[in-house]
Amino acid sequence: MKLRLPIRYVPVGATAFIMILLFWIGAVSFEYFVSPGVVIGLFSEYAFLGIAAIGATFVILSGGIDLSVGSVVSFTSIFIAALIHKHGFHPLAAALLAISVGTIFGLSLGFFIQVFDMPPFMVTLAGMFFMRALGFVVHEQSMSIKHDFYTWISRDAVLVLPSGDGIPLRAFLMVGCILIAIVIAHLTRFGRNVYAVGGDEQSAKMMGLPVTSTKILIYGAAGFCSSLAGFVFTLYKQSGDPASAVGMELDAIAAVVIGGTQLTGGVGFMAGTLMGVIILGLIRTLIDFHGNLNSAWTSITTGLLLLTFIGLQRGIAHLGERAVKSNAAEAD
């Protein structure tokens, strides 16, 4: 009996293969590449990107796009810093307020996109300019965050392994967010609605699904994830900066696509997005271990992977179309 892998699993299977291949290349090329320190570094240094990519995954699964990710991250970081140092907020209160602002901003984008039938690309592009400028209104330059509580939650180790390597809070936050996102995407009614809207919005409407509220909530979730990523970014950098995270939305989209989510919507997995983030981190780590390669090779390799996965998606779509036509011909 032949076992056939459903076609929707092919991209995420390719993602898993590339991730394992990169680990293998590092293992055979460098003595200390496969170690707890390297793995922890992937999850801690790319935690803010991973969290932002979760929101981008929901958006792309619905057939949309979000270009405001980096601007929301930068605004959140400087907003938190300003609330703590200019207005005397406790760090937790500042973080909660900043994340609330980011979530409301995301809901607003979703409202304009769905209610006024505006293209997501243009609406989120406008949101990108708006939040980037608003960050500079809050404070024009980078601002260090100096607070005892912030120093405590930002430390490099909230859990120390027997090997002596410490796991920071931001790594736990990323893993926790991924697990929650997997549950929401695959085990809740909202998640099923997201896939239905991305698969065929008109069919979803005819089925009586709450398309309008779902799409607004999708962009609200993206705003939440981006602002939470901004908070995690401050834990990593110990500062807020209105000029930071430029182009981060492109990194998030790249992680989602390399993770196997189709740009046309309806097909993808949160676990694939996690692997996409790890792949981006592995590429940078391999270049750092090599020592003699230009950092530009990170972008070159990412671009080649993107082209490969977009081509793979197009090939899968073409095979699907042929299968539908073949079945229709047999029915006739």
Residues of the chain under the 50 pLDDT cut:
1-3, 324, 328
Q: How far apart are CA 325 and CA 274, in angstroms?
A: 35
Residues facing 144 on adjacent strands: 239
Q: Which tens digits make up the pLDDT trace of 125-153?
A: 999 999 999 999 999 999 999 888 888 88
Rounded Cα distance between 41 and 281, Å, is 9
The pLDDT score that the predictor gives to residue 134 is 97
| pLDDT, position 320 | 55
The predicted pLDDT at position 319 comes to 62
DSSP 124-149: HHHHHHHHHHHHHHH-SS-EE---HH
H or E element in which residue 72 lies: helix 69-85
pLDDT at 70: 96
Q: What is the pLDDT of residue 321?
A: 54
Q: What is the pLDDT of residues 290-314, one digit of tens each?
A: 877 676 777 888 888 888 887 877 7
Asked if residues 162 and 149 have their Cβ atoms less than 8 Å apart, the reply is: no
Q: Is residue 60 part of a domain?
A: yes
Taking the CB of residue 40, how many other CB atoms lie within 10 A of it?
Answer: 20
CATH code, domain carrying 158: 1.10.3470
Residue at 315 is within a domain? no
Q: How many domains does the chain have?
A: 1
Distance of alpha carbon 177 from its chain centroid, rounded? 11
17 belongs to a structural domain: no
CA 77/CA 12 separation, integer angstroms = 32
Place of tokens 């090779």: 297
DSSP 208-266: T--HHHHHHHHHHHHHHHHHHHHHHHHHHHSEE-TT--TTHHHHHHHHHHHTT--TTSS
Q: Which domain holds residue 137?
A: 36-280
Q: Which residues pair with 258 in a beta bridge?
A: none
Q: Residue 280: CA atoms inside 13 Å, Cβ hemisphere, count?
A: 27
Q: State residue 35's pLDDT score.
A: 85
Q: Answer yes or no: is 329 within a domain.
A: no
Count the alpha carbons within 13 Å of 191 in the hemisphere toward its beta carbon: 15
Amino acid 196: pLDDT:
95
Q: What angle do CA 88, 93, 98 make, to 5 degrees?
A: 100
The answer as to whether 326 is a domain residue is no
* Bridge partners, 191 (sequence order): none
Measured CA to CA, the distance from residue 64 to residue 108 in angstroms comes to 15
126 domain-assigned: yes
- Please report whether residue 8 resides in a domain: no
**Burial of 263: CB neighbours in 10 Å, binned 0-12, 13-18, 19+:** middle
In a domain, 152, yes or no: yes
Query: Residue 3 has what DSSP assignment?
Result: -
Residue pointed to by tokens 């090997």: 163
The helix or strand, by DSSP H or E, that contains position 159, with its residue range, turns out to be: strand 159-160
Cα-based distances in Å from 171 to 44, 45, 49, 160: 4, 8, 11, 13
At 4, list the tokens: 């056939």
